[in-house]
Structure 1
Amino acid sequence: MLRVSLRNLLSHKLRLLLTVAAVTIGVAFVSGTFVLSDTMNKAFDELFSGIRGNTDVVVRSASAYDEPAFQGEARPLDQGLVDTVAAVPGVAVAEGSVTGFALILDKDGAPIQPGGAPTLGTSVSASTDLTGAFTYRDGRPPQGLGEVTIDARSAEGAGYDLGDEVDIVLADGGAQTFTLVAVTGFGDSDSLAGATLAGFDLPTAQQVLGKSGQVDEIAVLAESDVRPEDLRSSIADVLPPGTEALSGAEVAGEQATAMQDGLAVFSQVLLVFAAVALLVGSFVIWNTFNVLVAQRRREIALLRAVGATRRQVLSGILLESEAIGLLASALGILAGMGLAIGIRQLLVLIGIEVPTTAVALEPRTVIAALAVGVGVTTLAAAVPGWAATRIAPIEALRDSTPTTDGIRLRRRIAGPLVLGAGVLGLVASAVVGDEMMLTALASLTAFVGLVLAGPSLAQGTARIAGHGRRGGSWRMAARNIARAPRRAAATALALTIGVTVVAAVTVTATSMGESVQEVVAGSNRADFILTRTGAGISPAAAATLRDLEALDAVVALKYAGAQVEGTRSVVAALDPSDLELVMDVGDPVGVIDLSPGAVVMGTREAASHGVEVGDTVTVTFPETGEVTLTLTAIVGEGPTTLIGSAHWVSLEDFAANVTSTLDGSVLVSAAPGADLVATEQLIGQRLADHPNVVVNDPAELVASNQASVDQLLGVVTALLLLAVVIAVLGIVNTLVLSVLERTRELGLMRAVGATRRQVRAIVRRESVLMAMLGAVTGIALGTLVGVAISRSLGDEGITQVSVPVAQLAGYLLVAAAVGIIAAIAPARRASKVDVLRAVVQE
């Protein structure tokens, strides 16, 4: 049976190639995801371990809860604590450091802000014993108020050389000018994961970063004869409450984990696409082996007649599938390594620099790739293989005939019922809203129903297309579809999966864009919205606008991560005195009072926490811990969406619990009768010293958000096109097998006068019918799923549901083109059938 299986594989090389390609793409995504994740983990572990390599103990403020990636800045420590730590027996060196906001400008005055990475200002170590992998590529450490060192990536990108003057925007106001005295690196990396970094000596950093007399953390080096663990315990004994001592390895691990978690979304997205690709590929394999078993019925019967057992027949087919899986897995691992390298380069292009290290191919990756590749192919071939075992030896005496497959009565009944249940569930989810679990369950049910009802839908498609003229190519193509509806349905379903996901994402993204526009149009009264590039906007930007007579209101918004009633949230701080001049607050429950000790919440959030006006709400800030606030008002979705947070606190409470003073955005309203064009120019002039601030009118803000949504949609669609490629391979595979089984039929057609052009037309139109069946069902299901998801994401700011009919119609045209392209090679093969050999073939 091993010889028979290998012979069957090698005798049909095109079929083998197409089937292997369908699996390889999915395996490449799986292996590429693991390779990328492992490589990034290794790189960041090496980077931060190198930076902290000479640090034995780190002293810092303790966080109120354990979410390192969501904590923001550390609470500063009194600089006097450095002397306290240095006096602990066993301490060789103890040095404080500070970190804050510093935005480097290029020579044209434009912010250097790659891909949204942090823009950091920091103190640089005066002790070479603590620098670790932080190195000076060129120059010397900065000394005094006028000197700075910047990272090598920023220096190279902006064209800075030693001795040049560098303008840097700081949190307390406009840009200050410094002399570049050094260029720094981090091991082999030119930047810290893409972040820009401006380094000063400690006194200068404390002054320019607004932390005079304070340090963010204290790095400690132990004496040579002291164990770091013992020194850590000794230091912990002298620390004040709210402060902790950690090992350098622990802090390095936290920093590496924070970076890895921040980039984990790429891995998660790739795994989703891997699942889609593998699901599509499984349909291709399943369909291929179904057709193979049907075409080889006589061969299998002969094997049974000469003594092959049912077990041997099944093992032979499974051996074929496992061989395909092994080959696809090996190719997928190689392709995955290339994919990981390509994505890493893409991250560099958008400003996220992953430290240089060797590609990490872990045993887990190889095992996962083999398990996925071999597992998918084996499972997909199991059902057709089991059907092959039921072929009786007597069938060896029958002539082979073109494959036909009927639809059992119970499938005809179950398909529409399950599909209908799924559709009703999606409709209910769309009507009720906020039912993500119901949406997921209904989507799965609808898809299962589509699988069951697929052959009936294929027959229906054939009946619709079969009304052409007698003998016409459309009618003959429809007859071929009707003759093998299960095969056609399985081929179409491979395309349905990809189109469903694309359509669902398109509807959701369009709804998101429409929701932003509706919020801006419905709740916004501001004439201008100031946004930023980088971590934030200096409070001086809003302050410099408040004395302009052309402006009626300037409302600055600050943001911080916190836990509200134990739930991770974003808290906004603002002065509500001019709030109604920049937005329509609607009809709130209670009075919007943001005096110290007060909090305002959104309607959904108040309901989910079960609180009403007058109740107390616990907000846990990572820097200071729990704060009990009184709920003074509950506002609707429009205001909370426009503000960007459903939890508002006073500026006083924010300042008492959050170190950062930066604004996130600023809402500006012009005075009645003011010329908006002239006012915008005046605002731009006042903000000349704040080049990271962008002035938008409401239309520009909507356009900017829509551009971001379109960009996301473009990336998702591009990745999902790979699933469409697999579906195309499936159509090609099905058509090639169909041509092979209909060799005699095609020869007879040619013998009675059909031209090669007519034969090619029949094959092309059969392909188009299958592609359109997949596209129509995919768009219909994807649209329903997209609407249900949009209605389920009301808490995330999607308040409008929009179906882009023109774009979805464009997908139908693309599907038709896919059908034509997929049929090119099979149609040519069909038109070249040898008439005489085909006629005499049994």
Structure 2
Amino acid sequence: MLRTALRNVLAHKARLLMTVLAVMLGVAFVAGTLVFTNTISDAYQKSSQKGYEGVDVAIAPDKKDDDAANPGDAPRLSQQLLDQAGKAAGAASAYGVVDGYSAVADKKGDLIGGGFSNRGGNYYPGPDGKDSRYTMTEGRAPKAIGEVALDSRTAERGHYKAGDSVRVSVDGPVRTEKVVGVFTTDDGNVAAGGTLALYDTATAQKLFGKPGQFDEIDVKAAAGTSQTTLKSEIDKILPEQAKATTGKKLAKDQAEAIEQGMSSMQTMMLVFAGIALFVGIFIIVNTFSMLVAQRTRELALMRAVGATRRQVTRSVLIEATIVGAIAAVVGLVAGIGIGAALRSVLNSTGANVPDGPLVVAPTTVLVSVLVGVVVTVLSAWLPGRRAAKIPPVAAMNSVHAAPTTRGLVVRNTIGAILAAGGIALVVAGAGMGGDGQGPMAFGAAVLVIGVFVLTPLLSRPLIAAASPVLRIFGMPGKLARQNAVRNPRRTAATASALMVGLTLITGMTVIAGSIQQAINKMAADGLRSDFVVSMGGGSARPLSPEVSKTLAKLPEVTSISPLRASPARIAGDSDSLTGVDPKAIRNLVNVDFTEGSFTALGGTKALIDDKIADDHGWKVGSTIPVTYEDGRKGRLTVGGVYEGNQMIRGVMVDSATVSPHMATVADFQVMLKAKGGATEANKDLLKKTLGENPAIKIQTKQDISDEIAMIFTLMLNMLYGLLAMAVIVAVLGVINTLAMSVFERSKEIGMLRAIGLDRRGIKRMVRLESLVISLFGGVLGLGLGLFFGWAAGELVATELPTYELVLPWGRMGLFLLMAALVGVIAALWPARRASKLNMLMAIKGE
């Protein structure tokens, strides 16, 4: 039986090639994902370990989570603690670390690093005058205000060298500094494409609002002193809100964080690899079913000469194992290439990955081989079992047992129950809000399986609906329709492969389009300001109060309010207060009040959103106990309750009330209105007033919507790219089914040629059959995708009140056109092969 299986594999090379490709693509995706994520994770982990080589113990502020602690951040570390750490038993040296945001512009004025990780720090010379964290390759370390050193990658990208002037921004206003040195570093953020600018310690503390203070103190152990021993000594001198950690623990924690961060990407990519493999299952089942059907005489003869049912099944499974093993090995090799290519693509986008070898872990090899073999064998088990049940005499007489009526009734009943149950679960999940994700996901899986089971039943009426169009093509069109419904199970499996891909693509498109519409509406409804000013790389970055003061002096600015957030404890709960200008804010935001109005805002009177009011049972006149950022306690009075949204929510107070309690007075946004509205001329004026600052974003409502839309578009395009694998596999499935169908019907095609159907008619018949099957799968995919898009949107609507379903008719038409194109492309080779059949040989052939 083993020799027979091997001979069958070699005898059907062309037929099994498509199956190998289908499995290989899925395995390649799995292997490529594992190689890529393992390589990136390993490179970052080794880079982070290098960064901690000179750190034996690190001291950092430790925020205590109790009512006694101030709501603000833990106190930074003092110079006194630094001196004590350097003198601790077992300590060789200690240096203080100052960290903050520092954006660097290139010579054209554009931001280097794109806001990804623009960091600033301090150069802290040791007894030898050098900082062990950084190696100067050009010039010297900064020693005074107005001097800066850049990392070598940033200097290269900005074309800077020692002696040049560079424009930087720490909290808004532009500063012109002199580049006095260029250095190398093992900092992982720099390796990943970020920038690092170093100042002398005093300047860094002043720029980042930390005079005389440090964000971290790193201690180097003396020879013969272990990190654990040194930590024990350091613990004795620590203030209450500080903690010490060994360098090994820090490196381990960072490695785990990197691994955890990569695991989410790995999981997402593996999900799409799984989808591609799931689509491949339809092809494998179809292929082996058709191979078994074409070899009924051979299998019957084997049964007649003594082969048992188990041996026949085993023969088919051995073929599947060989095919799966070949596909797995080829897929693994292709996956290694994909992993290397993905790293190169990542580097080409500017997100430079630390150097390191390509990692092909033993688990990657094992998983790839297992996935390829197991998926193929499991998919071939049902056709193998069906082959073993063929009665020898019936098969020898070419009597192919059609599915019984009872079997069809059972199949359709099971399919209907699964589909109805899936619909019920999805609808129930849609009505459960945030708790409905689990039932909805399970219901979606059940519904897809139910539709797949019902697809043979659905194929006849849906394909029959295309009859009027097919009649236009005459006899080839009529024959194409009959061929498409001749074997409903085969048609169903072929169409289902395409259905899965289009279901996901359509569903994601519906959700993305609806969310974008909701964001546009939210920005339009929530904001009345013409412009919103914030720091690049995230709106939460501190913005100097000087920015709003500078803009307020412009005669074109008619109304302006800075927004500043301060951590606070409100009625015992950790929260924050948003400071605003009480006179200007009413002209800049658009909210509906359930009680009170903006006129009540000022002094100790606050405005709260309706959610906070409902949670605490507060209304106008209620007193709110508050603990400010600096630990002082006070009371606020509710002056109004408004309907919060994604743009405006929380507790609003007068900036004059909250600012005295802030450790560093800074804004996170500035809203303003200008004469003439949100025009390009006004935007250019604001940019020039702020010194053409590359680190500051000046956005209109449309800009805010477009920025969010760009993120959604990028994510959607990535998902389209990942799903393209499933679509490619589906195309292979259509090609495979048609090619084997042509072989199966070669005698029939020969007869059609003999009675007058020319080669062009044969080609048209095969192409139309492919087109009908593909469109059938496309229609099912669009229908399921719309349903899932609606259901998922109901969950989104609970968090996004402006959400409403938007049907992307244009894109849906494009997807249907894509399905048709898949059918046309997939039919090229089978149609050509069918038209070239020798009619006499085909009629004569068995």
- TM-score, with normalisation over the residues of structure 1? 0.89
Aligned to 1:27: 27
Q: Does 1:714 align with 2:717?
A: yes
| Equivalent in the alignment of 1:792 | 795
Q: Is the CA contact (8 Å cut-off) linking 1:478 and 1:766 kept in structure 2? A: yes
1:429-508 alignment, distance < 5 Å: 434=434, 435-467=436-468, 468-469=470-471, 472-508=475-511
Match of 1:227 in 2: 226
Q: 1:756 is matched with which residue? A: 759
Could you tell me how far 1:122 is from its partner in structure 2? 0.3
CA separation of 1:418 and 1:174: change in aligned 2, threshold 3 A: same
CA distance in 2, matches of 1:655, 1:271: 49
Secondary structure (helix, strand or coil) at the match of 1:803 reads coil
Question: 2:385 maps to which residue?
Answer: 386
**1:546 lines up with 2:552 in the alignment:** yes
Structure 2 contact 499–780 (Cα < 8 Å) conserved: yes
Structure 2 runs not aligned, ≥5 long: none
Structure-1 residue corresponding to 2:156: 156
Q: Secondary structure of 2:559's partner?
A: strand
Structure 1: how far apart are the matches of 2:3 and 2:612?
A: 66
Partner of 2:704: 701
Amino acid at match of 1:449: G
Q: Which moved more, 1:175-184 or 1:701-710?
A: 701-710
Cross-structure match for 2:236 = 237
2:102 counterpart SS class: strand
C-alpha distance in structure 1 between counterparts of 2:639 and 2:364, whole Å = 52
* 1:465/1:475 contact within 8 Å kept: no
- Cα deviation for residue 822 of structure 1 reads 0.3
Q: Deviations over 1:217-248 (max 9, x none)?
A: 11101110212211101101110101001011
Of 261-270 and 768-777, deviating more is 261-270
* Cα distance change, pair 190–684 in 1 and its aligned pair in 2 (3 A): closer
| 1:218 aligned counterpart, secondary structure | strand
- Report the AA paired with residue 108 of structure 1: K
Distance in 1 between the 2:449 and 2:195 partners? 50
1:834 to 817, 838, 844: 838
Once the two structures are superposed, what CA deviation does each residue of 1:181-232 show, in whole Å capped at 9, x if it has no partner? 2222235989332111001222222222221100111110111021221110
Shift of 1:263: 5.1
Q: Residues 718-797 of structure 1: matches in 2 within 5 Å?
A: 718-797=721-800
> 1:168-207 residue pairs with structure 2 within 5 A?
168-171=168-171, 173-187=172-186, 191-207=190-206
Kindly tell me: are residues 734 and 697 of structure 1, through their superposed partners in 2, closer, same or farther at Cα, counting changes over 3 Å?
same
1:242-641 equivalences in 2 (<5 Å): 242-262=241-261, 264-399=263-398, 408-427=408-427, 434=434, 435-467=436-468, 468-469=470-471, 472-535=475-538, 536=541, 538-539=543-544, 540-557=546-563, 573-575=578-580, 577=582, 578-588=584-594, 611-613=616-618, 639-641=644-646
CA contact (8 A) 1:524 1:582 kept: yes
Q: Name the SS for the 1:55 alignment partner.
A: coil
> Structure 1 CA distance, aligned partners of 2:684 and 2:657?
35
Q: Which amino acid aligns with 2:456?
A: P
Q: 2-side partners of 1:267 and 1:745: how far apart? A: 49
What letter corresponds to residue 185 of structure 1 in structure 2? T
Listed one character per residue, the Cα deviations across residues 105-146 of structure 1 (whole Å, up to 9, x for unaligned) are 1112222133x4111000124137995664333333222223
Deviation of residue 649 (structure 1)?
8.1
Distance 1:634 1:376 in 2: 62
Paired residues in the alignment total: 829
Render the CA deviation track for 1:382-403: whole Å, top value 9, x for unaligned: 2222222212222342137698
Give the Cα separation in 1 of the matches to 2:493 and 2:410.
18
Give the Cα separation in 2 of the matches to 1:783 and 1:541.
47
Cα drift, residue 351 of structure 1: 3.3
Q: 1:413 to 1:635 in 2, by over 3 A?
A: farther
Q: Which deviates further from its counterpart, 591-600 or 160-169?
A: 591-600
Contact 1:537 1:693 in 2 (8 A): no
Moved more, 50-59 or 12-21: 12-21
- CA distance in structure 2 between the aligned counterparts of 1:570 and 1:371, rounded to whole angstroms: 50
**Conserved 8 A contact 1:405-1:486:** no
Q: Deviations over 1:459-518 (max 9, x none)?
A: 223322345549622221111121101111111111111101110110111011101111
Tell me, in whole angstroms, the C-alpha distance in 2 between the residues paired with 1:463 and 1:184.
Answer: 72
Q: Which moved more, 1:774-783 or 1:456-465?
A: 456-465
Given the alignment of the two structures, is residue 79 of structure 1 paired with residue 83 of structure 2, yes or no?
no
Give 3-state SS (helix, strand or coil) of 1:150's partner.
strand
Verify the 8 A CA contact 2:63 2:73 in the aligned structure 1: no
Cα offset, 1:377, TM superposition: 1.4
Say if 2:62 is the partner of 1:62. Answer: yes
Output one character per residue of 1:333-386: Cα deviation in whole Å (capped at 9) or x when no partner: 222222222222333333322211111111222222222222211221122222
Tell whether the 8 Å contact from 2:166 to 2:179 is kept in structure 1 after alignment: yes
- The aligned amino acid for 1:169 is S
Q: Is the 8 A contact 1:564 1:620 kept in 2?
A: yes
Residues 19, 201 of structure 1: alpha-carbon distance in 2 compared, 3 angstrom cutoff: same
* Corresponding residue number in structure 2 for 1:642: 647
Q: In structure 2, how many angstroms separate the alpha carbons of the residues matched to 1:258 and 1:297?
A: 57
**Residue 814 of structure 2, aligned match among 803, 810, 816:** 810
Preserved CA contact (<8 Å) 2:563 2:669? yes
Write out per-residue CA displacement over residues 441-466 of structure 1, whole angstroms, 9 at most, x where no aligned residue. 33223212211111011122332234
Q: From the superposition, tell whether residues 222 and 704 of structure 1 become closer, same or farther in structure 2 (CA, over 3 Å).
A: closer
Mapped to 2, the partners of 1:298 and 1:598 lie a distance apart of: 90
Shift of 1:831: 0.9
Residues 1:453 and 1:750: Cα distance change in structure 2 (over 3 Å): same
> Match of 2:151, as an amino acid?
D
What is the Cα-based RMSD across aligned positions, in Å? Answer: 3.7
Query: Structure 1 pair 660/388, CA: closer, same or farther in 2 (3 Å)?
Result: farther
User: For residues 405 and 554 of structure 1, do their structure 2 counterparts lie closer, same or farther at Cα, with a shift above 3 Å needed?
Assistant: farther
- Give the C-alpha shift of residue 618 in structure 1: 12
Give the corresponding residue for 1:109. Answer: 109
1:666 aligned to 656, 663, 670, which one?
Answer: 670
Distance 1:450 1:84 in 2: 71
The Cα of 1:796 is off from its aligned counterpart by 4.4
Q: Output the amino acid matched with 1:458.
A: S
Query: For 2:236, what is the secondary structure of its paired residue?
Result: helix
2:826 is aligned with 1:825: no
Unaligned stretches of 5+ in structure 1? Answer: none
Once the two structures are superposed, residues 744-801 of structure 1 have per-residue CA deviations (whole angstroms, 9 ceiling, x without a partner) of: 1111111111111111111111111111011111111111111211221135436222
Q: CA deviation at 1:702?
A: 2.7
Q: How far is the alpha carbon of 1:310 from its aligned partner? A: 1.8
How far is 1:50 from its partner?
0.7
SS at match of 2:60: strand
Alpha-carbon distance in 1 for matches of 2:833, 2:805: 47
Name the CA shift for 1:775/1:263 in 2 (closer, same or farther; >3 Å): same
Could you list the per-position Cα deviations for residues 786-825 of structure 1 after superposition, in whole angstroms to 9, with x for gaps in the alignment? 1211221135436222111111111111110110000000
Whether 2:141 is the aligned partner of 1:141: answer yes
Secondary structure of 1:641's counterpart equals coil
Structure 1 residues 727 and 423 mapped into 2: Cα distance closer, same or farther (>3 Å)?
A: same
Give the match for residue 92 of structure 2.
Answer: 92
The worse-fitting range, judged by mean Cα deviation, of 809-818 and 528-537 is: 528-537
C-alpha distance in 1 between matches for 2:357 and 2:16: 34
Instruction: Classify 1:777/1:566 alpha carbon distance in 2 versus 1 (closer, same or farther; 3 Å).
Output: farther
Q: Does 536-545 or 496-505 show the bigger shift?
A: 536-545
Give the % identical residues: 34
Q: Do the aligned partners of residues 211 and 561 (structure 1) sit closer, same or farther apart at CA in structure 2, a change above 3 Å counting?
A: closer
